Amino acid sequence: MATLGFNTSRIQTPSLPRIPRSSSFPKPIKTPLFSSEALSKRGRFVSRSLPESSLSITKEETVIKQEEGNEVDEDDPTSELSYLDPETDAESIKEWELDFCSRPILDSRGKKIWELVVCDASLSLQVTKYFPNNVINSITLKDAIVSITQDLGVPLPEKIRFFRSQMQTIITKACKELAIKAVPSKRCLSLFLWLQERYDTVYTRHPGFQKGSLPLLSLDNPFPMNLPENLFGEKWAFVQLPYSAVREEISCFEEKFVFGASLDLDLLGIEVDENTLIPGLSVASSRAKPLAAWMNGLEVCSIEADSSKGCLILSVGISTRYVYATYKKTPVTTDEAEAWESAKKASGGLHFLAIQDDLDSDDCVGFWLLIDLPPPPV
C-alpha cells in the first residue's frame, strides 16, 4: 500500500462522513491560474512553422536556405508543424493527445479548414496538419498518424487520448486499425493549453480567420447520472493539503502510488503560494484497493461541489458525470461546499481525490491530482 503521508498539520480528516466546520477553511489566497509571465516562461510551444530542431528541417538546412536567399518564415500562420525534441528518446513517447476538428478558418472555397493537432503530455512531440473538409474520415486520420511516425521516427503510441465525443467514431476506428487504444478523456491538458496558444497566436492571424465563429464540435456537459455500485465509498470528507506538499507528493508519484494520476505542474504554470491549501476529497472504503482500481480506469477529470443540489459531481472520461456523494442541505453544509469551491478557484482550479482504507489513516491507496480547465476556444 502506498503512503501519502497525511498528518494533522497538513490535512484535516474528520472521522465522520460529513462536511467539516467552516473554520477549517482559512481565507484562500487568490492567485491567477495563468499569468502572461507564466505562459511566456513555459517555453514548450515551438515556433508555428518548422522549428530549428525539427527532424524535417534541421538548423543546418535552414541556414543553407537563408544563405541562398530563401528565408524560412518562422511566423507564418498557414504553415504546418512537425517537431520532435531532439533530446527526447522517441521510444519513450507511448501516449499521444489528439484533436481532429474544424477551425475558425475558411479556405479558398469558403469552407472551414480542419486541423489535426497531436502532442504528448510533455510537448516533446508537436504536430499540426491542415485538411479540407471533404476528406474527414478514419482513413485520412489513420494515414496521418502513420505519416507522423514515419516523418519523425517515433513508434506508434500505445494510447491516444481525445476529448471530443463527436469525433469518437472516427478516432476509435482509425486507432483500432493501428492497434492503438483510443482513450476518451478530458485529461488532455497539454493539448488544451496548446490549442489555446494556437488560437491566440496562429488562428487569429490566419488570413481566413472568422472572428466570432463558434466551435463546430462543442464539449458536452450532460446531466449527472447515478453512481455505479462498484464506485461507492463508505465515508467521505473534504480535506486540504498545502501546495508545497502537493508538489512533494507529485515529485515521487510513480514510486508511491499504484493507482491514480498526476499533472505536470511546471507545464501548467500555476502561480500559487506554497502555503495555499489545495482542496481535496478523501474517500474511505473497506475495499479501498478494488475501489481505487476501478477509479483508475475512468480517466477522472474533476470533482464539483454543487451546493444548490447538495451533492458532489464526479466528471470522468469526456462527458460522463456522476452524483458521487450527497449531503443534507443546511446553511452550514452549504457554506462549506461553497468554501470548498472557493478554495478550488483560489488554487487555480487545482484539487485532488484520495482513496483510503480509513479517513483517519495516514496511508493512501490512490491519489488523483485534478484541475478545472476551461475548454479550448476552438
pLDDT along the chain (378 residues), means of 10: 27 30 28 31 43 33 37 73 96 97 94 96 96 97 98 97 94 98 95 94 94 71 89 94 85 78 82 88 95 94 95 94 94 94 92 93 88 88
Return d(Cα 18, Cα 319) in angstroms, integer: 28
Contact between residue 317 and residue 185 where contact means Cβ atoms under 8 Å apart: yes
| C-alpha gyration radius of the chain | 22
Phi first, then psi: what are they for 105, rounded to 5°? -135, 135
pLDDT, tens only, 257-280? 779 998 888 887 777 788 889 999
| pTM given for the model | 0.80
Domains and CATH numbers, the chain: 81-205 (3.30.420.10), 225-371 (no CATH)
Whole-number pLDDT of residue 219: 65
Contact between residue 202 and residue 77 where contact means Cβ atoms under 8 Å apart: yes
Return d(Cα 111, Cα 104) in angstroms, integer: 10
